[in-house]
Structure 1
């Protein structure tokens, strides 16, 4: 789908047909949004802008040289937007092209930042006098959404921390949930750093207008704060994970202690039973088997009581 946002007599207009390019002057266009475009739509935009739009494989390259590049006529920037899911996040690569005062975006799925910008363009057309303002609005909105995700993760960490503090049973699912939160925290951090690298590269560009650089610097400060927050959250997760593993080790040690004490308690009675059990039919024991069984039982109970008293005296129980 293709959407062309342009100004006409001070009002923001929208066109969804590539044939309208012939009737729209370049200085009137603010934003061209390519949402999972067809080949014809993409070629029409390339012809209108006089530049080539990267394909999806090129946009998803990790190297910074592929995330940002520029020519005399255009600035190309690629970054990833996170989409929250039930348990984890997915990444969607978005391409930005700034040619003169026109912003062109290429994406493959609906994104809240773009929907918000479309609504604001129609509501406040005077604010958006160039594609650079639209570009900054998308980034600012996206950073706010990233901050919301970081805050949500922080609340989840607090919930799991409270569960450990109140002594809830720790299961395998509990550890898996903590690991999922760790993975999401790392993914958010990497995604924020990706935006930091792109914005830093744009600031170094001589083609980017000076009047908008202050807003980019503010974004960099916000990103630095988010990175520090995610680092703190990751440290809390590691501490929480170590605490949980420590509790599990303590529980295992308690179980081993119980088995050890039981085996030690039963050792003397077992020795007495083994010794007399093999010799009950010899010597004096012959003819007195009934009383010998009583004596053996008493000896076993006495030895058990003595061992129990020793353990109790040494506070092993």
Structure 2
């Protein structure tokens, strides 16, 4: 799918008619957004910018020299964006930014939330951008803000979990139920999400550092200044992500420790109950032996005496256990 945005009075305008057919793209094009593009769409974009666009295989490369390169008068930068962060299966998707003159081309198979939101704003003519570098800055800022919001939400969720874990002497309030399997799943999901976010932040940091240095690329002072500011924000977010990763480790250790304590408590209760039931069982076993000559066999108080002895043999150990505070 191809979206064409042209400069119209300093504002981006979505040229719907330009994406249809096989005619050359308009010279006023500032931003070409290619979503899972076809070969024809890639060819039209390459004809307009006069440079080759990265293939899927090149976008999948992890070497920095392949992700950040200058070739044919075009600057190609490939980053990993956090996508599907609001679902149970967060992922990272590759997004390539190609700057060629005053135009920007973005190539991606999955639509990140930041690009989708920016494109919606641009379709309503609410984005002032006359050059590709301005569009690039706005898109990257949107990706950084999106990652920041995800980390902030994850931090709040971890705070809620930790408050439930640490609540004085009792780990749970009266009547509170907490599914241990669900809790471990939430902690694991938070750790998985933070890991994906850190991968995205690392790739964005490399791109911002590349733009800030301006090695081999004649970027403007405003772009270098923006890149330096963005790089500082990304480093701060990475430190916050490290802090959240530590909270995930703490929450996981606490959850596993709580599960272990509860299991030990159950085993202790079962063991004490077994001991408490042993004396009555012993009395019943002795009194139930079928021998001809047994003391108390003909006694009219034999049966109630046996019941009383069984009850007493159960109460005395129970009182002893309570005095020792084993239960």
Q: TM-score, normalised by structure 2?
A: 0.81
Equivalent in 231, 235, 238 of residue 242 of structure 2 = 231
Query: Which residue number in structure 2 is paired with residue 31 of structure 1?
Result: 31
Structure 1 match to 2:199: 190
Where in structure 1 are there 5+ consecutive unaligned residues? none
Q: Cα–Cα, structure 1 residues 279 and 220, in superposed 2: closer, same or farther, change >3 Å?
A: same
SS of the residue 2:88 aligns to: coil
Alpha-carbon distance between aligned partners in 2 of 1:302 and 1:113, rounded to the nearest angstrom: 74
Contact 1:36 1:108 in 2 (8 A): yes
SS in 1 for 2:289: helix
2:153 corresponding residue in structure 1: 152
Cα contact 1:97–1:104 (8 A) shared by 2 = yes
Label 1:207 to 1:268 Cα distance change in 2 as closer, same or farther (>3 A): same
1:308 equivalenced with 2:318 (yes/no): yes
Higher helix share: 1
Cα distance, 1:236 vs. partner? Answer: 1.9
Matches within 5 A, 1:94-243: 94-115=95-116, 117=118, 119=121, 122-123=125-126, 125=128, 128-164=129-165, 165=167, 167=173, 168-171=176-179, 172-204=181-213, 205-211=215-221, 212-243=223-254
Query: 1:19 corresponds to which residue?
Result: 23
Q: Which residue of 2 aligns with 1:64?
A: 64
Q: Which runs of 5+ in 2 are unaligned?
A: none
Report the alpha carbon displacement of residue 123 of structure 1 after superposing the two structures with TM: 4.2
Q: Any idea what the Cα deviations from partners look like across 1:27-69, whole Å, max 9, x if unmatched?
A: x653333333332231122233332111223212333233222
1:281 aligns with 2:292: yes
Q: TM-score, normalised by structure 1?
A: 0.83
Aligned-pair Cα RMSD in Å: 2.9
Q: Is 1:254 matched up with 2:265?
A: yes
Per-residue CA deviation, residues 209-258 of structure 1 (Å, 9 max, x unaligned), is 25121211111111111112222222222222322222222222222222
Q: Which residue of 1 is the match for residue 307 of structure 2? A: 297
Distance 1:273 1:213, change over 3 A: same
Distance verdict in 2 for CA 1:56–1:298, change over 3 Å: same
Which secondary structure does the structure 2 equivalent of 1:278 belong to? coil
